[in-house]
């Protein structure tokens, strides 16, 4: 009998110790959305802090909000699962030791749903190719912004894109796998926070095409504006590629004559301009001198309209001519969507002081180790008393082999250059 009384005595002390604080009363919910809700209670005096627990009705695992300020009478529960019944309770803590606290309040329930955040409709997909596609949906005039998610059909891992601000109602889905089926969904946010979000839309599906690569066959053209020997001239370097060719990794251009007038340059000098036309935009840049390493080597930086460096290449004087070298950064997919590029160097190149052909040799390697070689030939004229008309005639020529057959330029050959003015020159094209 004494043992029973002793046990009852300590049980009474225990319940009195946790009952020194009263649990909050008049609990209720408000501002219910799909992913969050506000829970509320009456203000309590002599409280140090509060703690809330909540869970989906019928489950066993609770989530908690700890260390809620004693002056608070509301708390937002976030990261909820839409279209579910939730149960929540709150308790009071009377001191800082976390040992003197109330019982849990009576339970309150709410359902995560709202009519204020309608789902987006009207989805469709277009511009589908082997590695990207465009998602589209119907604009909702009340939306602040959108977000999309996409994944390989039948898998569970989503990728996300956004925010996409109203009134834009499309988004490119990038870096896809070829010959693969994908699904995507879109959701809307109806204010500048993450509170008022819609459910994900119904999924839309599409299949990427099979990638068919093109032969690595860039078009190269190197030319000068002024043909007079031993004089400065504008040097233009042109390159283009068709869609789905392997990307260019390294480019080297050399000549068998002439030189760059590097010794007159200073860092920051403007030496020309460049233009690159992509499938989606055209980029214009200014070329300025970067590092100068003596009179025979310099780096040329390419600056965009914001003044940022977006690329560079080197110019160099060799014993036999000049050398231009560049390396393109790898964008990760090894194939181009197509481009044209023009580099204009203004009076930096000086023609050789020898009358006759000047050859520019281009060597290119792709990111897939494809090799490409090209030779461009221009004529340099050292006859100062030739009229402009005759100069022009001499710069127009046809090429023949030693048997008199019309041919194209060939390396390591003896060729005959027949000019419009009747002049014929024998040219040795062996690369020096």
In three-state form (DSSP H/G/I as H, E/B as E, the rest C), the secondary structure along 361-380 is EEEEEECCCCEEEEEEEEEE
Which fold, 2-111? Immunoglobulin-like (2.60.40)
CATH 2.60.40.10 boundaries in the chain: 2-111, 124-207, 219-382
- Give 396's pLDDT tier (boundaries 50, 70, 90): low
pLDDT of residue 98: 84
Distance CA 181, CA 206 (A): 6
> In this structure, are residues 243 and 336 in contact, taking their beta carbons and an 8 Å threshold?
yes
- Exposure of 47 by Cβ count < 10 A (0-12 exposed, 13-18 middle, 19+ buried)? buried
Residue with tokens 């992913």: 35
Report DSSP letters for 91-155, one per residue: EEE-STTS-SBPPP---EEEE---SSSPPP---EEES--SS-EEEE----TT-SEEEEEEEETT-
CATH number corresponding to 124-207: 2.60.40.10
Give residue 426's pLDDT.
Answer: 66
CATH architecture group of domain 219-382: Sandwich (2.60)
Using CA atoms, how far apart are residues 278 and 280, in angstroms rounded to an integer? Answer: 5
Q: How many CA atoms within 13 Å lie on the side-chain side of 359?
A: 17
360 with 349: CB under 8 angstroms?
Answer: no
Q: What's the confidence (pLDDT) of residue 397?
A: 64
Question: Which residue has better confidence, 184 or 212?
Answer: 184
pLDDT in tens, 348-377: 999 999 889 999 999 999 999 999 999 999
- The proportion of the chain whose per-residue pLDDT surpasses 70, expressed as a percent, equals 87
Is it the case that residue 330 has pLDDT exceeding 90? Answer: no
| Residue 90, phi-psi category: left (phi > 0), alpha (psi -120 to 50), beta (remainder) | beta
pLDDT digits (tens, 9 = 90+) for 153-188: 999 999 999 999 999 999 999 999 999 999 999 999
Residue 135's pLDDT band (boundaries 50, 70, 90)? very high
CA gyration radius, the chain: 38
Report the pLDDT value the prediction gives residue 390, as an integer from 0 to 100.
46
Assigned token pair, 2: 């004494």
Give the neighbor-by-neighbor strand order of the sheet with 181-189: 159-165, 145-152, 181-189, 204-207
What's this model's pTM, rounded to 2 decimal places?
0.58
Sign of the four-CA dihedral 345, 346, 352, 355: positive
State the residue for tokens 């956004």.
Answer: 162
Question: What's the whole-number mean pLDDT along residues 123-132?
Answer: 94
pLDDT at 310 over 50: yes
Q: Among 89, 96, 99, which residue's Cα sits nearest to residue 20?
A: 99
**Strand order, beta sheet including 74-77:** 28-30, 37-40, 74-77
């Amino acid at each position: 009998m004494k043992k029973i009384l002793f046990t009852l005595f300590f049980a009474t002390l225990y319940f009195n110790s946790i009952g020194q604080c009263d649990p909050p009363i008049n609990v209720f919910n408000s501002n219910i959305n799909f992913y969050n809700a506000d829970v509320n209670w009456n203000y309590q005096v002599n409280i140090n802090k509060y703690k809330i627990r909540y869970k989906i009705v019928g489950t066993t695992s609770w989530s908690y909000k700890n260390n809620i300020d004693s002056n608070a009478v509301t708390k937002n529960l976030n990261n909820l699962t839409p279209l579910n019944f939730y149960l929540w309770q709150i308790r009071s803590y009377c001191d800082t030791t976390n040992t003197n606290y109330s019982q849990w309040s009576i339970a309150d329930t709410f359902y995560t749903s709202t009519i204020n955040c309608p789902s987006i409709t009207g989805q469709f997909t277009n511009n589908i190719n082997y590695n990207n596609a465009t998602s589209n949906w119907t604009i909702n005039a009340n939306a602040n912004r959108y977000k999309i998610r996409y994944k390989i059909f039948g898998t569970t891992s989503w990728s996300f894109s956004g925010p996409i601000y109203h009134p834009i109602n499309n988004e490119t889905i990038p870096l896809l796998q070829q010959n693969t089926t994908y699904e995507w969904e879109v959701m809307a946010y109806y204010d500048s926070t993450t509170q008022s979000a819609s459910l994900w839309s119904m999924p839309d599906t599409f299949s990427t095409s099979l990638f068919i690569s093109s032969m690595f066959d860039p078009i190269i053209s190197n030319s000068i504006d002024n043909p007079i020997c031993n004089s400065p001239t504008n040097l233009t370097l042109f390159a283009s590629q068709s869609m789905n060719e392997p990307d260019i990794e390294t480019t080297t251009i050399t000549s068998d004559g002439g030189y760059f007038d590097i010794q007159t340059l200073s860092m920051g000098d403007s030496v020309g301009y460049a233009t690159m036309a992509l499938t989606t935009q055209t980029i214009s840049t200014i070329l300025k001198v970067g590092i100068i390493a003596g009179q025979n080597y310099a780096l040329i930086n390419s600056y965009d309209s914001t003044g940022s460096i977006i690329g560079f290449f080197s110019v160099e004087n060799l014993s036999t001519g000049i050398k231009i070298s560049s390396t393109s950064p790898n964008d990760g997919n090894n194939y181009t969507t197509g481009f044209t590029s023009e580099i204009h160097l203004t009076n930096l190149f000086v023609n050789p002081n020898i009358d006759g052909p000047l050859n520019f040799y281009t060597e290119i390697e792709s990111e897939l180790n494809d090799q490409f070689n090209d030779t461009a030939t221009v004529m340099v004229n050292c006859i100062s008393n030739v009229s402009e008309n005759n100069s022009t005639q001499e710069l127009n020529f046809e090429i023949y082999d030693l048997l008199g057959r019309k041919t194209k330029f060939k390396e390591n050959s003896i060729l005959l250059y027949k000019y419009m003015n009747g002049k014929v020159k024998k040219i040795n094209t062996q690369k020096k």
